[in-house]
Structure 1
């Protein structure tokens, strides 16, 4: 155990200052109000008009970026394609937060409304659209954006919302049961599936748990904290697992590692793909590697 030795002749103010320095240097001490101890850097123009894929967000997090517990959110900057330290939760530095069951609850940063970014200049919002990612070519009308934005589980009774981007299977797996192979074994219980094209193609007969309506696609369009736009498809909530048929609740594939793809455009563009795109960029959070696709 380290101790702080201070001579009695030192003034109280000096003692207090020295104590603060010692506390700051021992352990991980964060300013939860988002004090900017590091200068922010502007995003590069190379982020715009290209597809960016993030694999396993939540795994191998940088120091200071990992939430204090499973209920606290992860923060992510779309324009800098990187996670954001939790100390900056009350800042303009992030665009998306992931929390709740398997991090399936998604929030946007709008500093003018109550939320983590409240009191900042952030102007973020979320629109949840019933459409496939590839089919969204324009920014939706302004009245469709929620401020501050929020999206969670889809049509899950009191646990969800009419327009969420994921489904939760509870005790069982109504998604896999649609294959007609009988009741799934317990390792398929309590699964969270994003409502994307790959899921609907893998389980074409799957219906909602509550009303027998066929599952519908969901794509998010985000207004970033700075006012640009991004369309986002959540691909998985399980580490190293993008195929819905192979997703399983196993120790080797823990839930809460989010994979998703997106395209950011500048606010004035209004159309996705209107400007020639750069090559696809993939960021693997587990390995820490960033790669560029050889083709667009």
Structure 2
């Protein structure tokens, strides 16, 4: 009887161990939280004022930026997939579409940055199909900013988050914090030359999923 009882106990212990091991294997590890990156003073074709004539001018070129690497990419790489978004004045381009090399795209999410936790599988991303048909709409109130004709200030619209599909088909959410150099609290005091300096807050999901 004692031997029988001991065998039963050993059998139960073995089953419990196997069950516990299987349960641990079934539990998915908690993913590490993604890092919120900040990029300051990305210059989007800055305005240069001629000191002799006072006439402002620009180059007309986009400043290309890699969200994946958090750095500006040389314009000589414009035909590559090394960049994800570009800035020129208030216009923002993506590296995807008929006139681009990458597989990027974008749409505007309406809500708070932290509220966007996942991109829907059904979500359609717009692309840059021509210089006048961009994924991110231009013009005051149409996309990410408002223009005040009295103060001439460009202000990011609260609750407008850019969702970017990168050139290599990863996903990022981008909040434009400021359009002015060093992100002043009161941009009405900023000089003309201090405009076109983007400050961004963003997260990139590099594992291929659409979860933030």
**Is TM-score (shorter-chain normalized) higher than 0.5?**
yes
Does 2:71 align with 1:85? no
Aligned to 1:132: 112
Q: Residues of 2 paired with 1:252 and 1:123: CA distance?
A: 35
Listed as ranges, the matches of 1:38-77 within 5 Å are 49-58=34-43, 69-77=58-66
Aligned to 1:147: 127
Does 2:192 align with 1:258? no
Kindly report the root-mean-square deviation, in angstroms, between the aligned alpha carbons of the 2 structures: 2.4
1:108 aligned residue (94, 114, 123): 94
2:168 aligned residue (226, 229, 252): 226
Between Structure 1 and Structure 2, how many residues are aligned?
163
Aligned to 1:44: none
Aligned to 1:95: 84
Q: Residues of 2 paired with 1:80 and 1:129: CA distance?
A: 23
**Per-residue displacement from partner, 1:176-211 (whole Å, max 9, x unpaired)?**
xxxxxxxxxxxxx21100113xxxxxxxxxxxxxxx
1:193 aligned residue (125, 147, 155): 155
Unmatched runs of 5 consecutive residues or more in structure 1:
1-47, 62-67, 156-160, 173-188, 197-216, 273-296
Q: CA deviation at 1:132?
A: 1.4
TM-score by length of 1: 0.51
From the superposition, tell whether residues 123 and 113 of structure 1 become closer, same or farther in structure 2 (CA, over 3 Å): same
Q: Residues of 1 paired with 2:156 and 2:164: CA distance?
A: 17
Unmatched runs of 5 consecutive residues or more in structure 2:
1-32, 47-56, 129-134
Please give the secondary structure, in 2, of the residue aligned with 1:261.
Answer: strand
**Per-residue displacement from partner, 1:22-50 (whole Å, max 9, x unpaired)?**
xxxxxxxxxxxxxxxxxxxxxxxxxx921
Q: CA deviation at 1:139?
A: 1.3
1:248 aligned residue (177, 184, 188): 188
Larger gyration radius, structure 1 or structure 2: 2
Q: CA deviation at 1:91?
A: 1.3
Stretches of 4+ aligned residues off by more than 4 angstroms:
none
Aligned to 2:17: none
Q: Residues of 2 paired with 1:223 and 1:233: CA distance?
A: 14
Aligned to 1:270: 210
TM-score by length of 2: 0.69
Which 10-residue stretch deviates more, 250-259 or 261-270? 250-259
